[in-house]
């Protein structure tokens, strides 16, 4: 139903209607750590409509006003149960041909029945990822809006859900690109939309453990475990247990937070590494003040303990120098789009290991939560990144808040994962004053949330001075460099000049290099987009890298070909073809074996 104001309908003429949906923001401050908690999946078939004009939010369809003030029926433009059904989770682009390039608002709806299990329990909706802006409505009430296409968010619906009846859930997902968003409207990957990751219902007691962070104190002694715990709803005592390390200690909660440091014998600790991906069972029990045993809250996790730091130009894992033998990878699948599953993740790790690698750069946004969990199990090191990509509106305060919130949501989600060793605050951004303020502030925020990992960014080469030079490096632990000499700049000899001109006291990771090749396209070493050209370029690249010891790791671009709607020559046809494996994720190109041999010999 359209609201009226004077002689016009507000939903038609109110250009600022979106402001109403920014009044309640779902951000990292409300994020619930769901690791080790029982979850109830809301995946499956939802009713769906492509809402090209965003009318659901413009006209407040969620209020379900079907009659006027006198009770007479009025026509509606929505029909929840009459709509077609769509799979959740899924990238809507892959579900219907007409949605392949759709970048507007999509309206999802379903009902669910809620039956309380315990008196006083709280109930949450946990979204693992929705691209991009997501507004949530329950039983005719606006709950909140989340910005960020690749990070989790939590909806507290305790006061809105109704027990012992069907509850109507409506989710509007807006995939429009924007110059003021992170990422901005011009990227180099496909803009998949929709509820493409899992959605859970989670129950907790009235006073509950909201978050925890357990890690090895990074002082080089390997003798202390530190735990921080956040509790919502009250105080009390938390018992931390790590049985294999003989830890069973109390953490007192005051003003919602508590911290404890627990000593261990260094010889008793099996330190996590790619060769030894040891994980320990960790559990927390919360005893709220003045509550009975039925009000306890318990959570558990599997956590590895290791130390990562730098020393001069070296990266040290557990005190030993390590070379990061890696590759970059996008969350893009030829059948599922941005949606993934454990089988796809494990297959990517198998391909990395077949290449003799130990490290993956997850570009250019946070990947599915399960990637880091599986990497913990498999012994793979990870670089995780937020999409501060290319020409972000660095002077815009809203863009910064968006970036910082996504960084916080990523770190809070994955800071208990031993596999994650680097937080990246961005990729390929021009060295301006606004960008320096923006990204240095993000680096500072990363360290506030996690003092145990390295901070980096993929920077650009100074092409005028022909050297690695970026003012942001002062605020980073590692300098990442993207270079495409021999490809975008055909003068390959510049690479050796740049590396020779560089005098750095920090490790450098060559975060991107390479060139495109269409799988099966053969030719001379001078034929662009042939596998032979790509192979020859990789041979020259790795030969150059061997000469410079400050290079501490590599993540060439990229493991698999991936969709990109800016690339449409006869070889690319809507894909970035720089992958060492075809988009089918099976067919290896000749350059794959160059990296395989190089990493084997390193």
**Which of 208, 77, 58, 201 lies closest to 135, judged by CA?**
58
**Which of 50, 46, 44, 48 lies closest to 83, judged by CA?**
48
Q: Which two tokens stand for residue 198?
A: 């899992």
Q: Which CATH superfamily is domain 318-329+343-514+541-560+589-601 in?
A: Glycosidases (3.20.20.80)
CA distance 320 to 224: 19
Q: What is the pLDDT of residues 217-273, one digit of tens each?
A: 999 999 999 999 999 988 999 999 999 999 999 999 999 999 999 999 999 999 999
H or E segment and range at residue 497: helix 493-501
Peptide bond into 364 cis (omega under 30): yes
Q: Report residues of the chain scoring pLDDT below 70.
A: 1-10, 291-294
13 CB-near residues (< 8 Å, 6+ apart):
none
DSSP reduced 3-state for 424: strand
Q: How far is CA 474 from CA 120, 136, 400, 441, 457, in A?
A: 50, 41, 20, 12, 11
- Give the DSSP letter of residue 57: H
pLDDT at 439: 98
pLDDT at 205: 95
Residue ranges per structural domain of the chain: 4-204, 223-303, 318-329+343-514+541-560+589-601
CATH 3.40.50.720 fits 4-204, yes or no: no
Q: Which two tokens stand for residue 374?
A: 């599986």
**Which of 344, 323, 336 lies closest to 559, judged by CA?**
344
CA distance 357 to 85: 42
CA atoms within 13 Å, Cβ hemisphere of 515: 27
CATH number of 223-303: 2.60.40
Q: Which two tokens stand for residue 124?
A: 């949450």
Q: Which two tokens stand for residue 556?
A: 């060439």
pLDDT at 1: 43
DSSP reduced 3-state for 523: coil
DSSP reduced 3-state for 6: coil
Backbone angles phi, psi at 259, to 5 degrees: -150, 150
pTM: 0.96
């Amino acid at each position: 139903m359209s609201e009226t104001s004077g002689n016009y309908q507000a939903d038609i003429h109110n250009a600022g209607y979106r402001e109403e949906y920014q009044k309640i923001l779902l951000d990292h401050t409300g994020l619930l750590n769901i690791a080790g908690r029982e979850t109830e999946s809301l995946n499956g078939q939802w009713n769906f409509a492509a809402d090209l004009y965003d009318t659901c939010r413009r006209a407040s369809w969620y209020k379900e006003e079907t009659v006027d003030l006198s009770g007479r029926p009025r026509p509606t433009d929505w029909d929840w149960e009459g709509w077609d059904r769509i799979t959740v989770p899924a990238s809507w682009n892959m579900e219907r041909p007409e949605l392949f390039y759709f970048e507007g608002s999509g309206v999802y709806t379903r009902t669910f029945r809620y039956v309380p299990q315990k008196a006083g329990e709280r109930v949450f909706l946990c979204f693992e990822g929705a691209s991009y802006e997501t507004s949530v409505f329950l039983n005719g009430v606006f709950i909140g809006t989340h910005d960020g296409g690749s990070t989790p968010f939590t909806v507290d619906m305790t006061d809105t859900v109704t027990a012992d009846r069907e509850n109507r859930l409506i989710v509007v997902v807006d995939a429009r690109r924007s110059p003021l968003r992170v990422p901005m409207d011009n990227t180099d990957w496909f803009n998949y939309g929709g509820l493409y990751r899992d959605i859970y219902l989670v129950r907790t007691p009235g006073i509950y453990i909201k978050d925890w962070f357990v890690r090895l104190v990074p002082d080089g002694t390997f003798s202390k475990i530190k735990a921080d715990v956040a509790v919502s709803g009250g105080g009390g005592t938390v018992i931390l247990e790590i049985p294999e390390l003989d830890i069973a200690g109390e953490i007192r909660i005051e003003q919602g937070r508590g911290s404890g440091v627990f000593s261990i014998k260094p010889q008793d600790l099996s330190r996590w590494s790619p060769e030894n991906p040891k994980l320990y069972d960790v559990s927390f029990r919360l005893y709220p003040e003045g509550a009975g045993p039925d009000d306890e809250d318990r959570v558990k996790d599997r956590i590895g303990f290791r130390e990562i730091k730098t020393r001069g130009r070296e990266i040290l894992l557990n005190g030993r120098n390590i070379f990061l033998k890696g590759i970059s990878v996008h969350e893009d699948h030829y059948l599922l789009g941005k949606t993934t599953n454990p089988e796809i993740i494990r297959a990517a790790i198998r391909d990395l290991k077949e290449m003799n690698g130990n490290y993956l750069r997850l570009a250019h946004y946070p990947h599915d939560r399960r990637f880091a969990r599986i990497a913990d199990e498999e012994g793979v090191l990870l670089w995780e990144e937020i999409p501060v990509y290319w020409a972000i509106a660095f002077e815009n305060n809203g863009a910064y808040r968006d970036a910082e919130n996504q960084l916080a949501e990523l770190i809070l989600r994955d800071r208990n994962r031993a596999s994650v060793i680097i937080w990246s605050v961005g990729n390929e951004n021009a060295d301006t004053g606004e960008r320096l303020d923006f990204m240095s502030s993000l680096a500072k925020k990363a360290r506030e949330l996690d003092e145990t990992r390295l901070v980096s960014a993929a920077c650009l080469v100074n092409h005028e001075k022909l050297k690695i030079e970026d003012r942001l490096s002062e605020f980073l632990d590692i300098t990442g460099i993207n270079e495409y000499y021999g490809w975008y700049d055909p003068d390959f000899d510049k690479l050796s000049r740049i590396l020779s001109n560089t005098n750095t006291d920090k490790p450098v990771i060559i975060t991107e290099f390479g060139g495109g090749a269409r799988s099966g396209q053969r030719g001379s070493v001078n034929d662009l987009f042939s596998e032979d050209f790509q192979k020859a370029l990789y041979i020259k690249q790795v030969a150059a890298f061997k000469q410079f010891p400050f290079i501490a790791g590599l993540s060439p671009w990229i493991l698999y070909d991936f969709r990109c709607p800016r690339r449409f020559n006869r070889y690319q046809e809507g894909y970035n073809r720089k992958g060492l494996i075809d988009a089918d994720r099976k067919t290896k190109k000749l350059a794959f074996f160059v990296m395989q041999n190089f990493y084997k010999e390193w």
